């Protein structure tokens, strides 16, 4: 299997003597709660304090070397920089704490590492006065630690090193999600809330950040007419956040089933909408093996429409696509995706890389099970927008937001494609 190398670093502008400064730099994954190890010759440890290097932008850190077998592993990662000042008396002052770089790790590929538009950190002193500072970074949202923690993983509660809802993990996973605006339900049944929050996040990041902040701090939030308040025995008390795998010598490794910030938003929304049953389990197996959890998490079209309307979206088209399927799809697709979201209830199998789409037979049953958001208008293979004159046998192509990225939908005949779409909702993108 091929490996992929990335070479992240941080530049610093400062009027302080380089010999009086030290830095630490790490590539942190807030979902897995791990720091990637530097594999360069310098071997910079995540929390070690190091001398800076002179560069064209004043100073820079050492260039780390991060090696992965799949670049997607770095999607959630954050580059975290700390700066320390050595005073005239020899004391060490932590002047910049946990600065989250606006640069994505994927920007620092081997061919592009010296052409990155860097987020340059600045630290300046006046009359040699050492001061603690936190450079302005518009994407960072600080959350305040509540007196009683709102979200708790029952097996890994506060104080446990694997607690998924620490202040650092919530802040960094929020920052990661704002930088990479594709909510990811991963191995949970939360595709409906994922589609909803994709719209919110890409319409208004401030509203999304407000939802995360107030849920983590207070356990409830109201945006326009949408109230989100997970129950004490529901999404606030999480079971199965991690998948536990036994390795060599029965050593258990923990694989998170979802990002902390995605659980806070998506799990809370789903749970607060359930009037009878709590939703508090991150684990999903399949609709048969874990049918009760799937039942409590499934999003009905009426749920989706209510969420969109209550938070403030203008719904301009909605249709149950059970009869004139091609005609309904063409009507929904006529709205420009530059100004609208087309949200559809379908099945996960339509996405490339998923199992074959079942055809109707006595042995195979198919039906609505998955929510997506189209990221562009549906077109023919020739790049033409589908219209009433498009042949039903024409092969069509499309992309959608699902499972944490912009994914290609399998090429298929227009008639078969439309038969796999069960409900359309179109909203204007504006959200205030």
pLDDT value of position 136: 67
Please report, to the nearest 10 degrees, the dihedral formed by the alpha carbons of residues 62, 63, 66, 71 taken in order.
140
SS3 283: coil
Instruction: Give the single-character DSSP code of 50.
Output: B
Would you say residue 339 lies in a domain? yes
Same domain for 277 and 381, yes or no, is no
Nearest to 37 by CA among 53, 23, 25: 25
**What does the alpha-carbon distance between residue 228 and residue 221 come to, in Å, rounded to a whole number?**
5
pLDDT value of position 120: 93
Same domain for 266 and 346, yes or no, is no
Same domain for 160 and 280, yes or no, is yes
Instruction: Give the single-character DSSP code of 129.
Output: -
Q: Are 283 and 239 in contact (CB under 8 A)?
A: yes
**What does the alpha-carbon distance between residue 273 and residue 79 come to, in Å, rounded to a whole number?**
36
Would you say residue 413 lies in a domain? yes
Same domain for 239 and 323, yes or no, is no
Evaluate the CA torsion angle 193, 194, 197, 203 in order and state its sign: negative
pLDDT value of position 284: 56
Q: Where are the alpha helices (DSSP H) in 187-240?
A: 191-203, 205-218
Domain membership of residue 36 as a residue range: 4-123
Q: Are 271 and 278 in contact (CB under 8 A)?
A: yes
Give the number of other Cβ atoms within 10 Å of residue 92's Cβ.
11
φ, ψ of residue 99 in degrees (nearest 5): -80, 125
Same domain for 281 and 226, yes or no, is yes
pLDDT value of position 283: 63
pLDDT value of position 252: 86
Number of domains forming the structure of the chain: 3
pLDDT value of position 74: 96
Q: Which residue has the tokens 């290609």?
A: 408
Paired tokens of 120? 């340059």
Q: pLDDT, tens digit, for every residue of 147-164?
A: 889 999 999 999 999 999
Last residue in a domain, options 300, 327, 351: 300
Which positions of the chain have pLDDT values less than 70? 1, 128, 134-139, 274-281, 283-297, 322-324, 358-366
Would you say residue 359 lies in a domain? yes
pLDDT value of position 138: 62
Paired tokens of 354? 């998923």
Same domain for 241 and 344, yes or no, is no
Residue-wise over 279-316: b if at least 16 C-beta within 10 A, else e? Answer: bbbbbbeeeeeeeebbebbbbebebbbebbbebbbeee
pLDDT value of position 282: 72
Would you say residue 146 lies in a domain? no
Same domain for 232 and 350, yes or no, is no
Helices (H) and strands (E) in the chain, counts: 9, 23
Can you give the pTM of this predicted structure? 0.89
Same domain for 33 and 99, yes or no, is yes
Paired tokens of 395? 């092969």
The rounded mean pLDDT for the chain is 89
Q: pLDDT, tens digit, for every residue of 310-340?
A: 999 999 999 987 666 899 999 999 999 999 9
Helix axes of 205-218 and 167-179: crossing angle, nearest 10 degrees: 160
Would you say residue 55 lies in a domain? yes
Would you say residue 138 lies in a domain? no
Say if strands 237-238 and 152-153 run parallel, antiparallel, or are unpaired: parallel
**What does the alpha-carbon distance between residue 32 and residue 243 come to, in Å, rounded to a whole number?**
11
Give the number of other Cβ atoms within 10 Å of residue 27's Cβ.
22
Strand (E) or helix (H) holding 83: strand 78-86
Same domain for 92 and 199, yes or no, is no
**What does the alpha-carbon distance between residue 152 and residue 155 come to, in Å, rounded to a whole number?**
9
Q: What is the largest CA-CA distance in the chain?
A: 82
Last residue in a domain, options 272, 300, 328: 300
Same domain for 265 and 362, yes or no, is no
Nearest to 284 by CA among 427, 188, 182: 188
Could you tell me where the beta strands, DSSP code E, fall in 277-377? 315-320, 340-346, 370-374
Same domain for 328 and 204, yes or no, is no
Nearest to 33 by CA among 186, 220, 193, 260: 260
Q: Are 279 and 187 in contact (CB under 8 A)?
A: no
Would you say residue 193 lies in a domain? yes
Same domain for 188 and 271, yes or no, is yes
Which residues are CB-neighbours of 384 under 8 A, at least 6 positions away?
A: 390
**What does the alpha-carbon distance between residue 117 and residue 207 come to, in Å, rounded to a whole number?**
27
Would you say residue 135 lies in a domain? no
The CATH number of residue 417's host domain is 3.90.70
């Amino acid at each position: 299997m091929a490996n992929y190398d990335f070479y992240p670093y941080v530049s610093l502008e400062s009027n302080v003597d380089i010999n009086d400064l030290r830095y630490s730099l790490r590539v942190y994954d807030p979902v897995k709660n791990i720091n990637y190890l530097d594999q360069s010759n310098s071997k910079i440890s995540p929390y070690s304090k190091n001398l800076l290097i002179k560069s064209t932008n004043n100073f820079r850190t050492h260039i780390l070397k991060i090696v992965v077998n799949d670049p997607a592993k770095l999607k959630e990662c954050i580059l975290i920089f700390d700066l320390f000042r050595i005073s005239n008396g020899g004391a060490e002052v932590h002047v910049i704490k946990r600065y989250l770089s606006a640069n994505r790790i994927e920007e620092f590929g081997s061919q592009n590492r010296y052409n990155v538009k860097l987020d340059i950190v600045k630290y300046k002193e006046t009359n040699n006065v050492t001061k603690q500072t936190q450079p302005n970074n518009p994407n960072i949202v600080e959350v305040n630690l509540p007196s009683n923690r709102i979200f708790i993983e029952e097996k890994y509660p506060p104080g446990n090193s694997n607690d998924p809802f620490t202040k650092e993990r919530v802040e960094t996973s929020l920052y990661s999600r704002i930088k990479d605006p594709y909510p990811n339900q991963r191995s949970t049944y939360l595709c409906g809330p994922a589609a909803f929050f994709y719209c919110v996040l890409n319409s208004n990041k401030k509203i999304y950040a407000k939802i995360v902040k107030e849920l983590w701090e207070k356990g409830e939030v109201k945006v326009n007419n949408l109230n989100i308040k997970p129950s004490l025995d529901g999404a606030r008390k999480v079971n199965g956040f991690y998948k536990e795998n036994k390795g060599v010598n029965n050593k258990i490794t923990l694989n998170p089933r979802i990002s902390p910030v995605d659980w806070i938003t998506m799990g809370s929304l789903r749970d607060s909408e359930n009037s009878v049953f709590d939703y508090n389990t991150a684990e999903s197996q399949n609709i048969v093996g874990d049918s009760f959890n799937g039942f409590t998490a499934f999003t009905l079209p009426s749920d989706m429409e209510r969420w969109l309307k209550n938070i403030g979206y203008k719904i301009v088209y909605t249709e149950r696509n059970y009869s004139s399927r091609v005609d309904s799809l063409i009507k929904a697709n006529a709205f420009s995706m530059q100004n609208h979201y087309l949200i559809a209830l379908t099945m996960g199998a339509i996405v490339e890389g998923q199992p074959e789409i079942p055809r109707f037979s006595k042995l195979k049953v198919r039906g609505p099970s998955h929510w997506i958001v189209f990221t562009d208008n549906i077109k023919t293979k020739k790049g033409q927008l589908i219209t009433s004159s498009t042949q039903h046998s024409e092969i069509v192509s499309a992309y959608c937001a699902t499972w944490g990225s912009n994914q290609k939908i399998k090429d298929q005949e227009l008639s078969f494609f439309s038969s796999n779409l069960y409900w359309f909702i179109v909203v204007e993108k504006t959200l205030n």
